[in-house]
């Protein structure tokens, strides 16, 4: 059986789409369709059911993918390990949310760049969850950091770490509303404070309110800026309250630039995932970055 046909088949199986598989393989869609039809003729059985949006594998298709994919991934690993002896650096394309990628991932990965025979060049791009996972699926990125676990066989996710969310504001707001006083309920007092957020929908504040108070925030966003680092700067300047990852505001808390307005017994958490296209961990530079970030994350939690 032709290995090229099997490679195309496994890519379609993981992508769930001839179009997406063609983009990943660098082939035209008719070429992918032709290869799948050739393989189906050789086997005498259909491998996919064509649908309005993409394809779904038949039971024979699932069985063939289960048997063939690990061996194809092993062949890729052998080939890529050989390429790793080349004097030129491989390039790792990383994507993720701007703040976490800049503050956590990039400082860790820059230790792996350079010309030590095992390093790689690094290219990073920022985006929201949808943009990041779509770019990874299309082959624009090698490794993505996401706050959502993707569905389907094309992408494989590994839990990386959890971040704790903290409700903070400048000290004058804490004094004004009497934050931390045992005889005062925090939620009504907090309604007096303007809100600083990254989007009009108040994603961080709304998640905090739902988790901690089982309600929705009453105040609208007063300052909306699309970067958590800017949110922190505005909170320090006294613009209002903000919900921020602890890693991002821990230094400001230690300096007293902001204070925690509420300390729930169980703080809200958000999980980050490392995501790759299934099978690409056979490539040494992707596997090394993936493992390195997991090790680094042990000190982030």
Residue-wise pLDDT tens digits, 169-178:
999 999 998 8
Q: Could you tell me if 10 and 73 lie in one domain?
A: yes
Q: Could you tell me if 228 and 294 lie in one domain?
A: no
pLDDT band at residue 286 under the 50/70/90 scheme: very high
Mean pLDDT in residue range 161-166: 96
Q: Could you tell me if 203 and 285 lie in one domain?
A: no
Higher pLDDT, 181 or 198: 198
List the domain range (segments joined by +) for residue 8: 3-82
Please, what sign has the CA dihedral across residues 196, 202, 203, 205? Answer: positive
Output the six-digit token pair for 125: 């791009």
Does pLDDT of 250 surpass 90?
yes
Q: Could you tell me if 186 and 116 lie in one domain?
A: no
Q: Could you tell me if 243 and 277 lie in one domain?
A: no
Higher pLDDT, 230 or 301: 230
Which of the listed residues 65, 82, 99 is the one where a domain comes to its end?
Answer: 82
CATH code of the domain in which 59 resides: 1.10.10.10
Which of the listed residues 32, 65, 82 is the one where a domain comes to its end?
Answer: 82
Structural domains in the chain (count): 3
Q: Could you tell me if 176 and 252 lie in one domain?
A: yes
Give CA–CA dist 176/161, Å, rounded. Answer: 35
Give CA–CA dist 251/176, Å, rounded. Answer: 23
Q: Could you tell me if 15 and 139 lie in one domain?
A: no
Q: Could you tell me if 33 and 130 lie in one domain?
A: no
Give CA–CA dist 18/29, Å, rounded. Answer: 6
Q: Could you tell me if 64 and 95 lie in one domain?
A: no
Over residues 42-101, the pLDDT tens digits come to 999 999 998 888 899 999 999 998 888 888 888 876 766 655 555 457 899 999 999 999
Using DSSP bridges, classify how beta strands 269-277 and 155-169 pair: parallel, antiparallel or unpaired. antiparallel
Does pLDDT of 248 surpass 80?
yes
Using DSSP bridges, classify how beta strands 195-197 and 221-224 pair: parallel, antiparallel or unpaired. parallel
Q: Could you tell me if 208 and 149 lie in one domain?
A: no
Mean pLDDT in residue range 93-112: 95
Q: Could you tell me if 265 and 288 lie in one domain?
A: no
Q: What are phi and psi of 68, to 5 degrees?
A: -85, -35
Q: In 3-state terms, the chain is what percent helix, strand and coil (to 5)?
A: 50, 20, 30
Mean pLDDT of the chain: 90
Give CA–CA dist 202/31, Å, rounded. Answer: 46
Q: What is the pLDDT of residue 116?
A: 57
Cβ-based neighbours of 199, under 8 Å, separated by 6 or more: 221, 224, 226
Does pLDDT of 266 surpass 60?
yes
Give CA–CA dist 201/208, Å, rounded. Answer: 13
Output the six-digit token pair for 287: 């596997």
CB 265, CB 119: distance < 8 Å: no
CATH code of the domain in which 216 resides: 3.40.190.10
Q: Could you tell me if 249 and 190 lie in one domain?
A: yes
Q: What is the pLDDT of residue 185?
A: 61
Give CA–CA dist 120/112, Å, rounded. Answer: 7
Which of the listed residues 82, 99, 115 is the one where a domain comes to its end?
Answer: 82
CB 168, CB 258: distance < 8 Å: yes
């Amino acid at each position: 059986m032709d290995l090229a046909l099997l490679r195309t088949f496994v890519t379609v199986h993981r992508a769930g789409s001839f179009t997406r598989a063609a983009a990943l393989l660098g082939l035209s869609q008719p070429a992918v369709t032709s290869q799948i039809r050739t393989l189906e003729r050789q086997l005498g059985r259909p491998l996919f059911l064509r649908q309005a949006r993409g394809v779904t594998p038949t039971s024979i298709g699932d069985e063939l993918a289960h048997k063939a994919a690990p061996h194809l991934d092993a062949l890729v690993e052998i080939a890529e390990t050989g390429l790793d002896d080349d004097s030129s650096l491989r390039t790792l394309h990383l994507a993720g949310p701007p703040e976490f990628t800049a503050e956590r991932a990039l400082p860790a990965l820059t230790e792996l760049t350079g010309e030590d025979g095992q390093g790689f060049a690094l290219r990073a791009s920022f985006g929201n969850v949808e943009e990041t996972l779509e770019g990874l699926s299309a082959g624009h990125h090698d490794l993505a950091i996401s706050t959502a676990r993707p569905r389907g066989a094309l992408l494989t996710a590994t839990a990386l770490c959890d971040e704790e969310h903290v409700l903070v504001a400048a000290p004058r707001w804490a004094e004004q509303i009497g934050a931390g006083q045992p005889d005062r309920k925090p939620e009504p007092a907090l309604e007096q404070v303007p809100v600083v957020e990254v989007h009009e929908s108040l994603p961080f504040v709304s998640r905090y309110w739902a988790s901690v108070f089982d309600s929705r925030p009453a105040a609208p966003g007063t300052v909306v800026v699309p970067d958590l680092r800017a949110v922190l700067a505005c909170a320090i300047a006294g613009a209002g309250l903000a919900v921020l990852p602890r890693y991002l505001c821990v230094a400001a808390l230690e300096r007293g630039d902001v204070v925690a307005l509420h300390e729930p017994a169980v703080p809200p958490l958000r999980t980050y995932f490392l995501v790759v296209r299934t099978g690409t961990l056979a490539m040494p530079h992707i596997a090394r970055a993936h493992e390195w970030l997991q090790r680094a994350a042990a000190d982030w939690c």
